[in-house]
Chains A and B, each alone.
Chain A
Amino acid sequence: MAEIDFERRLERLFGDAPDLADATAFAQRVEQRLDRGWTARRWLIGAAGLAGGVIGASQLMMSNIFQQVATAEHSAKTLSAGLSRVTPTTDMVSALSGGYGVWVAVGLAVVTMGFAVSRVIEEI
């Protein structure tokens, strides 16, 4: 037998692999591992997003954001007082000046941070 023929025959023999009895079970095991991997990844992304949001919020709260917001509130009050002379007070301005503004800002920051971190991790 020529050398090349033998090598081709050998390749054919290697390629000739009958299905093993548990071929379907094997495929199912691989699919299960894939599913587990995706579920774990989703949890990881969610947890990372939450952690990012919490960290972002804590950073906001630790910084002198309250002082700045207090200043902003004071400005808002001044603005509101000025505006009240011109137009009726709006709900938004009154909400901000009533102290809810801080928590609205913190809440928005948490959501935004969580969304941003989730997106970044997903892209990675």
Chain B
Amino acid sequence: MPGAIKTSLASLHDVELCSYAAAGERRAFGELVRRHGSAVRHLLRRMGAQAAESDDVAQDAFLAAFERIAEFRGEGTFAGWVKKIAARQYLRRLQRDRRLSALAAEGVEEEADAYAGDADHRIDLDEALKVLSAAERVCVSMCYGAGLSHGEAAEALNLPLGTVKSHVKRGLEKLRARLAPVNEAKTGGAVLEGRRGNG
């Protein structure tokens, strides 16, 4: 019978699973974790968390999501909602360990050498993110991975909005150079302002 239950849960939409989970059905929530756990863990790793840390934070985020599942109205995707929770929890952990202040105080170090000669190869996002500074990686991941606006990211990071925008802009430039097709990389991309600059 458990197998049959799993199969029936697997056929349900996220929103349906959320409503079951809101009624206290933990197996339904488990199915959601099975579906989106990897995406959340990937995001945390892209933000700079180590594998074990990303797993811990992702677990905490899912538990927090279960507690607050009634707040999820289905306006966005469930994965997006949990990613936001996870990103904020990761930042709280950084703050608790006093790593966030170090990240905020991080200087603007150009790491051009790290990617100058690699534009000929189209590499994946994980590799590309490695050339970003920690602050840039966190800001870009929060805005493009977790779906936070610049303003929300600034609030979560406890940084001025302008600083976050700068980190995102520099991060995007580096990513663009790293990820762009060869011809574009050679000509140089336009300066990215970021369409998320909605405060």
Smallest beta-carbon distance B10→chain A, Å: 12
A-B CB pair tally, cutoff 8 Å? 91
Who on chain A is nearest to B184 by CB? A1
Centre residue among B62, B175, B189 by max chain A CB count within 10 A: B62
Q: Is the Cβ of A18 less than 8 Å from the Cβ of B63?
A: no
Answer yes or no: A4 CB below 8 A from chain B CBs: yes
Q: Of B33, B43, B176, B180, which one neighbours A17 at CB under 8 angstroms?
A: B43
Q: Of B42, B63, B145, B194, which one neighbours A30 at CB under 8 angstroms?
A: B63
Secondary structure of the A contact surface, majority rule: helix
Q: Is the Cβ of B27 less than 8 Å from the Cβ of A26?
A: no
Residue numbers in A under 8 Å from B181 (CB-CB): 1
Answer yes or no: B190 CB below 8 A from chain A CBs: yes
Q: Of A13, A18, A30, A35, which one neighbours B37 at CB under 8 angstroms?
A: A30
CA distance A26 to B42 in the complex (A): 13
Contact A3:B62 (CB < 8 A) given known A20-B38, A27-B37, A31-B33? no
Secondary structure of the B contact surface, majority rule: helix
Centre residue among A33, A34, A35 by max chain B CB count within 10 A: A34
Q: Is the Cβ of B46 less than 8 Å from the Cβ of A20?
A: no
Q: Is the Cβ of B180 less than 8 Å from the Cβ of A10?
A: no
Q: Is the Cβ of B38 less than 8 Å from the Cβ of A17?
A: yes
Smallest beta-carbon distance A71→chain B, Å: 49
Q: Is the Cβ of A7 less than 8 Å from the Cβ of B59?
A: no
Q: Is the Cβ of A37 less than 8 Å from the Cβ of B192?
A: no
Answer yes or no: A15 CB below 8 A from chain B CBs: yes
Answer yes or no: B125 CB below 8 A from chain A CBs: yes
The number of chain B residues with a CB under 8 A from chain A is 40
Q: Is the Cβ of A31 less than 8 Å from the Cβ of B27?
A: yes
Smallest beta-carbon distance A23→chain B, Å: 5
CA distance A19 to B34 in the complex (A): 9
Residue numbers in A under 8 Å from B194 (CB-CB): 7
Contact A3:B192 (CB < 8 A) given known A14-B141, A30-B62? yes
Of the A-B pairs whose beta carbons lie under 8 Å apart in the complex, a sample of 26, sorted by A's number, is: A1-B184, A3-B192, A3-B193, A6-B189, A7-B144, A7-B194, A10-B125, A10-B144, A10-B172, A14-B144, A18-B38, A20-B37, A20-B41, A20-B42, A23-B37, A24-B34, A26-B38, A26-B58, A26-B59, A27-B33, A27-B37, A28-B30, A31-B29, A33-B59, A34-B66, A38-B26
Q: A1-B180, A27-B34, A34-B30 are in contact. List 9 more A-B contacts (CB 8 A).
A: A1-B181, A1-B184, A6-B172, A6-B179, A26-B38, A30-B37, A30-B62, A31-B30, A33-B63
**Interface residues of B, Cβ cutoff 8 Å to A:** 26-27, 29-31, 33-34, 37-39, 41-43, 46, 55, 58-59, 62-63, 66, 124-125, 140-141, 144-145, 172, 175-176, 179-181, 184, 189-190, 192-196
